[in-house]
Structure 1
Amino acid sequence: MASGKTPRPMRSSRRADGFQSRVVASRNPKLVREAEESLSSKQRLARPREMRRPRTAQLRDMGEVCHQKFSAVDRDQRSFQPFPSEVVFENYIPHQFYIASLALRNKDRVPRLLNVILGNSPYFELISPSDEDYKVAPGMSSTYRILFRPDENKDYFEELIIITEREKFFVPIRAIGARASLDFPEQLNFSECPVRFSTQKTLLVRNVGKREACYSITTLSPFSVDPSIGTLGVGEAMQVTVEFHPPKTGVYTSPMIVHYDTGEDVHKSLCGTAVNADIRLDKSSLTVEKTSLTLSKQSSLVIHNQSGITAHFQWKRFVDEEEEERQKLRLQRQEEDKLVDVPKEHGVVPPLREHPSLPICTSQSQGKEVQGDSTPFCSDIFTIVPMEGDILPNSSLEINVIFKPKEARVYQEAAYCDISGCETRLPLCISGEGVGPQVELSCDQLSVGKVFVGSSHSYGVLLLNRGVTEAPFSVVYPERALDSCFTFAPREGMLLPLEHQVIRISFNASVLGQFTEEFQLSVKGSPEPLTLTVSGCVIGPAFHFDVSCLRFGEVSFGFPRTLCCRLTNTSPVPFNFNLRIPGDGLGAPSVTSFAQVSERTGLWWRKRGRGANKPAEFTIRPFRGSVCSKGHLDIQVTLCSNTVKRYKLALVVDVDGVGREVLSLPVRARYQRFSCSPSSIPVHLSQASGAALHRGVWLQLQMRSIAQ
């Protein structure tokens, strides 16, 4: 309303309850807002509107100000009804005068006192119908005018204080300045979009309002707006990008609220449907050919993108993001436990609050598989090339899987292709078998037959490498006593591809008996070592005597008799021997007849046989020695009988390193009484002196008397 003009009283339709009805011009909120912003203050006041109860400041005691203490108006209602409930000035020009009317109707059945007060405001002025407080008749209205003179096109606010006999309440006065308005569409529909892919729509938004727009835009995931905050001048335009990035398939709706700096909020609607794009792997499992250790082979698969988007992919280690988070938390707890256990080892357990750096150290110590926001596929055996990239619409991309085994076994791992446009990661099962060095022995069993103890033998086996890789090998000895008899040359080495190596086995037989030994050749990279079994029998040296028995025949007391035999070694190894006759006396050597005759007493020898040790009657020359290979040695055995008995003994051979009594030669002799006839006198005694012969005869007679 122009300044200086007084508006005529308003006419509006009223309902039975005293409130004006409100007419809605349009169901479209945007059209309603634009229509309201285009109204002038006069037109706004002339429109029928809903009447609201004014805000009450306090209730008064009617007995103190009037005689009519009772009111026909309910306690929850005001005794005067203001119309309009709020005085609004809109679409005004700075430095112009605008007038609005406020009518206050007495709802009571008796006249009531009314007082209207306006605070000191340089922009609003109250024009009352009377200079003093006056009473308003029942059902009648009192009209006040508010004069408004703005300095600029901005918002102003003031309140009228209405004081009646029963209460004090307020009527707000608002001046609505120019408003900004961004012409966003009421609804933005993305239709069907690929899941886990960013679909963007760019809008050209113009400020169709009458002031600069300082705005901020909020929305809910998976929608986002860029720029979400800014300033746009009157009549200017800008590009606003609305992005839709759904994490799962389904229908999504979200409000988009435009907040203006003047306090208004404008609600828009966003919606979209997420679907899986036509993207797939040409195979879900991939088997790489058998590969030798230290070498590598590759196989390939294809990712087909039959959709209209550029799909970004990355190979991951886990099936989904939830599994990634669980693995991160598990490793984080393990690292925290380790850090907490370190002080315990030193006997000190500090509280966690004294170590604020622990979480930082923990996050830095995680393995490669859990670093960062994602866990890319990582393996020491399989390598995927490329690990990530983009696939253009309606095209395909070849992926190579490189297999480099470290052990001779079957490997199986799972990789997951995290690709935009697919709700779940595409699984790929990768398998491959590592082939160890193809090394073999020319024979796995070696029989050495019978070998003589103390002999040295050498054998050879071939170690063949039929593969295309180098094969480091080493001989593993079993932990037993017989192992020291074997020597391998070389004990370790490197076998080149398609070549062979002669392994020399030296065997020094030192333990008698049957033997079976297993030796292992460990080949690096082979799951099981090669086994070589060596078997045989170690026997003692072969030797014999040239006679079957030493027969001394009839021997006389004190008259030595010597027999000869030959010990022949038929084996190719020498041996050391020791000859003895078990059963022979362990005392002093036996006494010959010459020694007996030369003795004056002649009876001292009687005492020798009465002791614990009987005389040693046999003499062996040599009794110890060595016989070379294929050689022989003559042995002399002398019997000087000092005992009246039959001799049934044996000459035994003890061989060093082999055993005792390895060979025995029977010894037979029989004692015979001495006869004085010349024929019975030995030749060597007949040549003796007469005195000696006389003493010998006397000794024989003594012996005969003893025997009788």
Structure 2
Amino acid sequence: KEMSLTIKQRLASTKNLNLPQIVQPQHKHEMSHHQVAFPSGLDHSSLQPCPSEVVFQNYTPGELYEVPVVLRNRDKVPHLVKVTLESSPYFQLEIPSDASRKVPPGLSMTVRILFTPGQNKDYFHQLLCITDREEFIVPIRAIGARAILDFPGQLEFWQCPVKYSTEKTLLVRNLGNWAAHYQLSTQSPFSVTPAMGTLGIGDSMQVTVEFQPQKTGDHSASLAVHYDTGEDTHTSLHGRAVDVHIRLDRNAVTFGKTYITRSNRAIVHIHNLSNITACFQWKAADTQEQEDQLKQYPRLCQQEKDKLSDFLKKCRVDITRREHSALLTRTLQRVRAKLQEDPMLFYDDIFCLEPKEGEIWPKCSTEISVFFKPQEARLYKQAVYCDISGRETRLPLLLIGEGIGPQLHFNPEELNIGKVFFRAAHRYEVILLNSGPLEAPFSLIPPTTAMGSCFTFMPQEGVVAPDRLKIIQISFCPTILGQFQEEFCFHVTESPKPVTLTIRGCVMGPTFHFDVPALHFGDVSFGFPCTLRCCLSNTSLAPMAFNLRIPEDGLGEPSICSSVQILKINHPSWRKGARGFMKPREFKISPCRGTVRALGSQDIEVTLCSNTVREYELELVVDVDGVGKKLLAMPLTHLPGCSSKREVLPHELHLPI
């Protein structure tokens, strides 16, 4: 618009006046007798030229053009002003008759610049003004033929989808009188094409301005047109980005339990309810910033460099030489370029989405297949993000799936064996059933408890085919009494948890009894052995090792029978009041120890040879090895043959001849 004005129109439109810079201050005030401080300061002139710059434009060669220049005294004292113009064939100065003139405060003087162009080209000159205080210049510029591209002053993009390219095409014409050699530039999120070119006088072209914001909100930039003459023009660009109605039909996909090495499939829909064609990509990062961090290549480049260096060393190549260093550098550059071009789409061995990228037409939907392929028997969780046109933030989708391994279980899972006998061998069978489609290799985890070590499993390892079973035989020989509950674990390949079998029961000691309730010896003669018999029966299913004893029997020497009493008439045990006297052992048990087979019996003889005169009651007790002591007691009663309470001496006995 400014370039289309005539010389008079441009002069009339001049509003801003700038004070010229002082070229050379006058230190000797030879032309003035006033010694007054200048309020204008030392950096700027005391005179204000109007216009500050003389401009000629839109002229015709050979014609005469004139522009007046007014010099106003802005000081508080009068100044003597002298105006000069260097000789030029194109510019002349027209001044009042007096070459130098004193200008009072607040008043002005006018000079005229005459311009006669020889060609339609640029001219440059200057007007020199000299006062008693300073010297300053007024630039003179003649603008010749110019190219003028009629770009608008402002271009608006309103309510544009974010992450989507909105374009506006301008029809630009060269209104000037010179061919336009131009370059166009702007800033993100705006772009322009073509970026450079040439446009003849009166010709037109199409310029496309693209607005592709990555964030919602208002955006501003400037479209600069750079001419080959050095001038620039600017067009203000404004745009507003918004989210449009595009969404996923759900935020999470939960797969059912899936066997390892098998796959499961689900469907997700992307609904595009807007009026744009939306382009989408499935990404692993939820923001562009995180994705850019993933593209940081120093670590990857170092890995590639190390690999190449190792390879060259193996080939016995000197990697310090210049050509090999250049090879490493080129390799790093290729890796860097590869990373920058990588769209960073989502790839995973467990979850897979198809298609990973594509387009969705306006008011349409697309179907995304999500596959789940577990490699281990565990719970998987993975978040993926849909980067799609029209939405600033990526749409999250949470993928959840559980992988399961071989499905082994015992039938029954709990075995109650009830009451069993101590050290008796017992046998049981359970079924190990594979209810899944995968082979199930298993192996017993050795038990660590004392009761668990009493169990034996056959087989301890093996493979159960899909939908098949295997019989596990269990042998149990308990060596510990009491109730128990043991859990046995079998490791199953590719299964995080072992399959377990619980066995509970109670181990009882051996059951046995005597065939008589007691042994009654009645009247027993002193020194005459008396033997009674009984039978010990084992009613359990395991052999029983027994030990018979009479706790209250004497601890001294065995009692002496009547046949040897005469020979040992002076035996210490017979003499009353002997020092160190200990009661003799008057009972003899035969056998006193042994083993009774399962469901068997043992005859027992108990012989009493009394060497004391008294009445007492004793017990025959049974100890069972490994079980306990005094598990059974049978009463023993007897009455000495003499009714006297005193001790019977040997010489008082009347033995038969």
Cα contact 1:106–1:136 (8 A) shared by 2? no
Q: Deviations over 1:321-372 (max 9, x none)?
A: 68x59999xxxxxxxxxxxxxxxxxxxxxxxxxxxxxxxxxxxxxxxxxx99
What is the deviation of 1:462?
1.2
Aligned counterpart, 2:352 = 383
Secondary structure of the residue aligned to 1:55 is coil
Are 2:628 and 1:659 equivalent residues in the alignment? yes
Q: Residue 474 of structure 2: which of 475, 489, 505 is its match?
A: 505
Matches of residues 90-109 of structure 1 in structure 2 within 5 Å? 90=57
Aligned counterpart, 1:157 = 124
Aligned counterpart, 1:484 = 453
Are 2:638 and 1:641 equivalent residues in the alignment? no
Are 2:151 and 1:184 equivalent residues in the alignment? yes
Aligned counterpart, 1:463 = 432
Are 2:195 and 1:232 equivalent residues in the alignment? no
Are 2:461 and 1:496 equivalent residues in the alignment? no
Cα contact 2:84–2:93 (8 A) shared by 1? no
Aligned length: 601
Aligned counterpart, 1:172 = 139
Q: Residue 553 of structure 2: which of 562, 566, 584 is its match?
A: 584
Secondary structure of the residue aligned to 1:65 is coil
Among the aligned pairs, what percent are the same residue?
48
Distance 2:537 2:427 in 1: 27
Distance 2:181 2:587 in 1: 136
Matches of residues 285-324 of structure 1 in structure 2 within 5 Å? 286-305=253-272, 309-316=276-283
Distance 2:11 2:287 in 1: 64
What is the deviation of 1:541?
2.8
Q: 1:617 to 1:257 in 2, by over 3 A?
A: same
Cα contact 1:582–1:650 (8 A) shared by 2? yes
Q: Deviations over 1:444-474 (max 9, x none)?
A: 3323233221111110111222233344555
Aligned counterpart, 2:509 = 540
What is the deviation of 1:233?
6.3
Q: 1:63 to 1:585 in 2, by over 3 A?
A: closer
Q: 1:160 to 1:421 in 2, by over 3 A?
A: same
Q: Residue 231 of structure 2: which of 216, 239, 264 is its match?
A: 264
Cα contact 2:442–2:492 (8 A) shared by 1? yes
Q: Residue 448 of structure 1: which of 417, 421, 431 is its match?
A: 417
**Counterpart AA for 1:172:** P
Secondary structure of the residue aligned to 2:456 is strand
Are 2:525 and 1:552 equivalent residues in the alignment? no
Cα contact 2:444–2:491 (8 A) shared by 1? yes
Cα contact 1:442–1:463 (8 A) shared by 2? yes
**Counterpart AA for 2:4:** E
Aligned counterpart, 2:165 = 198
Q: 1:140 to 1:611 in 2, by over 3 A?
A: closer
Are 2:10 and 1:55 equivalent residues in the alignment? no
Unaligned runs of 5+ in 2: 295-339
Distance 1:566 1:619 in 2: 16
**Counterpart AA for 1:33:** M
**Counterpart AA for 1:55:** P
Q: 1:123 to 1:509 in 2, by over 3 A?
A: farther
Q: 1:518 to 1:282 in 2, by over 3 A?
A: closer
Distance 1:376 1:176 in 2: 56
Matches of residues 293-692 of structure 1 in structure 2 within 5 Å? 293-305=260-272, 309-316=276-283, 382-392=351-361, 395-404=364-373, 415-428=384-397, 430=399, 438-473=407-442, 480-520=449-489, 532-599=501-568, 601=570, 605-606=574-575, 610-673=579-642
Aligned counterpart, 1:65 = 31
Q: 1:205 to 1:494 in 2, by over 3 A?
A: farther
Matches of residues 19-30 of structure 1 in structure 2 within 5 Å? 29=1
TM-score, length of structure 2 as denominator length: 0.73
**Counterpart AA for 1:174:** R
What is the deviation of 1:171?
2.0
Distance 1:647 1:127 in 2: 165
Distance 2:348 2:535 in 1: 79
Distance 2:514 2:191 in 1: 113
What is the deviation of 1:410?
7.6
Secondary structure of the residue aligned to 2:566 is helix
What is the deviation of 1:45?
9.7
Q: Residue 702 of structure 1: which of 616, 641, 652 is its match?
A: 652
Cα contact 2:566–2:650 (8 A) shared by 1? no
Cα contact 2:515–2:537 (8 A) shared by 1? yes
Secondary structure of the residue aligned to 1:595 is helix
Cα contact 1:208–1:234 (8 A) shared by 2? no
Secondary structure of the residue aligned to 1:509 is coil
**Counterpart AA for 2:595:** S
Distance 1:136 1:447 in 2: 131
Distance 1:162 1:51 in 2: 20
Q: 1:126 to 1:480 in 2, by over 3 A?
A: same
Q: Deviations over 1:163-192 (max 9, x none)?
A: 234553322222334433334344445565
What is the deviation of 1:644?
1.7
Q: Deviations over 1:452-501 (max 9, x none)?
A: 21111110111222233344555567754322222333445443321112
Secondary structure of the residue aligned to 1:633 is strand
Q: 1:154 to 1:573 in 2, by over 3 A?
A: same
Distance 2:388 2:273 in 1: 13
Greater share of helix: 1
Secondary structure of the residue aligned to 1:179 is coil
Secondary structure of the residue aligned to 2:598 is coil
Distance 2:276 2:598 in 1: 95
Aligned counterpart, 1:33 = 3
What is the deviation of 1:33?
2.0
Cα contact 1:83–1:104 (8 A) shared by 2? yes
Aligned counterpart, 1:353 = none
Distance 1:415 1:421 in 2: 18
Q: 1:55 to 1:391 in 2, by over 3 A?
A: same
Q: Which moved more, 1:59-68 or 1:385-394?
A: 59-68
Secondary structure of the residue aligned to 1:642 is coil
- State the structure with more CA Rg: 1
Cα contact 1:113–1:133 (8 A) shared by 2? no
Aligned counterpart, 1:694 = none
Q: Which moved more, 1:157-166 or 1:129-138?
A: 129-138
**Counterpart AA for 2:82:** N
Aligned counterpart, 2:213 = 246
Q: 1:462 to 1:560 in 2, by over 3 A?
A: same
Q: Deviations over 1:388-440 (max 9, x none)?
A: 23335565432012234578788776544221023444454555566665544
Distance 2:15 2:650 in 1: 172
Distance 2:615 2:12 in 1: 163
Distance 1:273 1:106 in 2: 49
Q: 1:608 to 1:187 in 2, by over 3 A?
A: same
Distance 2:276 2:445 in 1: 62
Cα contact 1:54–1:169 (8 A) shared by 2? no
Cα contact 1:608–1:615 (8 A) shared by 2? no
